Structure 1
Amino acid sequence: MTLATTGELVAAARADGRGLPAFNVITLEHAEAIAAGAEAAGSPAVLQISQNAVRFHGDRLLPLARAAAAVAESAEVPLALHLDHVEDAGLLRSSAEAGFSSAMFDASALLYDGNVAATREAADWAHRQGLWLEAELGRVGGKPGDAHTPGVRTDPAEAAAYVAATGVDALAVAVGSSHAMTERTAVLDRELIGRLRAAVPVPLVLHGSSGVPDEELTGAVAAGMTKINIGTALNTAFSAEVRAYLAEHPSVVDPRRYLAPGRDAMADTVRRLSSVVASVPSPREPAD
């Protein structure tokens, strides 16, 4: 299947009132697992490569990007390639030639005016390249500024002004989730999600979704979230399966023996969470 674009998948999910799962890729096994799990769920998905993943691969973007793109192109469901949490402008500018249709430019550590200026410049560049650009306003937990600290959650009026000032295509918002959670205990502010959905004309993105229980995910989509980012849940499933395999087979040295069950565990996680996220009908799309 031809590589899909993130913008097309997000627009379709939003129009249908459903969520679009977006999964983080660190290794080739991640990409293969995401494709297999999405196929099993019959759901489109986004393969995301973060700036941290690029750093892990020696700051070389192309090898992992081309491998992920090749996996996506061979899948039986629509998959898109997204560059996530980019803070480095040089890395952002390498995304177009690497096959990405979208990127998330993260200037959320800056004060509001600095965030607006940096993101406006990034959006202008991205749009000239035909790329869809996501940004973040507020402080999602797991980075400096805890998800429950007063004042870090995204304000709807400020979010509307931010989108108008930057021209971004989607907005990641802080509503109670945290990055890198290994327990699914996050409680989201659904009332705030609804107010953000009413105030902001572009799709909303939930980061840190691995720590969000199923019922909270379905509630978030029903309240107005569209793109649902998931990363740590895959790593948790992978690591648990690899540990179990090596504990049972301590003499194994061939990595294929333990990578295969780890990849299968990630694929099953992708299948299950894709079914949760993409199966929620919602009447939130307003009439034009």
Structure 2
Amino acid sequence: MSLVHTRELVEQGAAARRAVPAFNVITLEYAEAIADGAVAAGVPVILQISENAVRFHGDRVEPLARAAAEVARSSGADIALHLDHVTDLELLRRASDAGFSSAMFDAGRLPYADNLAATLAAANWAHGAGVWLEAELGYVGGKPGAPASAHAPGVRTDPDEAARFVADTGVDALAVAVGSSHAMTERSAALDHALIGRLRDAVPVPLVLHGSSGVPDDELRRAVAAGIAKVNIGTALGAAFTQAVRDTLAARPDTVDPRHFLERGREAVAETVRQLCAVVGG
């Protein structure tokens, strides 16, 4: 078990009628924790580094990506490396050299025609570089510039439009807006499972659910059964990590060695990953 291509994990998951959980990586401790949680669950996972995480690291994508790749290679789980929510074409063009086998190009905030044109250009480059490309149609809430609600009119992905979009762009996977929202800290999102089913029937590529941290376990299971093939999770890891750090510092306010609280944070993330792997990838 080692670093594998995203396409391989998603195709294997689809054949087994399960989804591949994709977890956001912000620091090395996150990558280590996700790998540990995946091993404990016996489930393959995707380590994904977002454009925002790259910005956090001073626009340097390679150090964190290469560290995550080494974690994957030394892990007892099959793990893929994915560059997430890319809006900058220059960053996208660094994906292959940095070791990513896949990327998500995010032009979902744009009007349909502009999204299509930008995504087509991104897909043409990605396929020439051997990069599996995910795109977004509809607009998942919780990001700057997003509609106020995941339930606002016109937000959700239309199946007929999605079929045309995939045919015209040639993307390998499609992130869809079906009721989830990014950055939720409460698990209260209600998904449109009938819409997921219609999208599955209309679109010949894997469907991706973003904003999954706010979706309850039963809703996630139903979404996978309805046709979701990749489940993105970020905020839940941040919540677990931060709470563990807070608790450690509250109990030991004299701590100056960051290893004490980073270890607790890593353990909390690993347990969160284990639990969510069992829900969506088991």
State how far apart, in whole Å, the 2-side matches of 1:2 and 1:261 are: 26
- 3-state DSSP of counterpart to 1:263: helix
The aligned residue for residue 194 of structure 1 is 197
The aligned residue for residue 39 of structure 2 is 39
The aligned residue for residue 221 of structure 1 is 224
| 1:109-133 superposed Cα distances (whole Å, 9 cap, x missing partner) | 1110010011001001100111100
Alignment equivalent of 1:275, drawn from 261, 275, 278: 278
The aligned residue for residue 54 of structure 1 is 54
Compute the displacement of 1:62 (Å).
Answer: 0.6
| Residue identity opposite 1:142 in structure 2 | G
The aligned residue for residue 128 of structure 1 is 128
Compute the displacement of 1:15 (Å).
Answer: 1.4
Alignment equivalent of 2:169, drawn from 161, 166, 169: 166
How many residue pairs align between the two structures? 279
Q: Is the 8 A contact 2:211 2:232 kept in 1?
A: yes
Matches within 5 A, 1:98-247: 98-143=98-143, 144-145=146-147, 146-247=149-250
Compute the displacement of 1:185 (Å).
Answer: 0.4
- 3-state DSSP of counterpart to 1:271: helix
Q: Which runs of 5+ in 2 are unaligned?
A: none
| Residue identity opposite 2:26 in structure 1 | I
| Residue identity opposite 1:149 in structure 2 | A
State how far apart, in whole Å, the 2-side matches of 1:277 and 1:108 are: 25
Matched, 1:254 2:271: no
Compute the displacement of 1:2 (Å).
Answer: 3.3
State how far apart, in whole Å, the 2-side matches of 1:255 and 1:124 are: 44
The aligned residue for residue 95 of structure 1 is 95
State how far apart, in whole Å, the 1-side matches of 2:204 and 2:43 are: 25
What root-mean-square deviation, in Å, do the aligned CA atoms of Structure 1 and Structure 2 show? 0.6
The aligned residue for residue 81 of structure 2 is 81
| Residue identity opposite 1:33 in structure 2 | A
Compute the displacement of 1:148 (Å).
Answer: 1.1
Q: Which runs of 5+ in 1 are unaligned?
A: 280-288
TM-score in terms of structure 1 length: 0.96
The aligned residue for residue 66 of structure 1 is 66
Moved >2 Å (runs of 4+): none
Q: Percent same amino acid at aligned positions?
A: 68
TM-score in terms of structure 2 length: 0.98
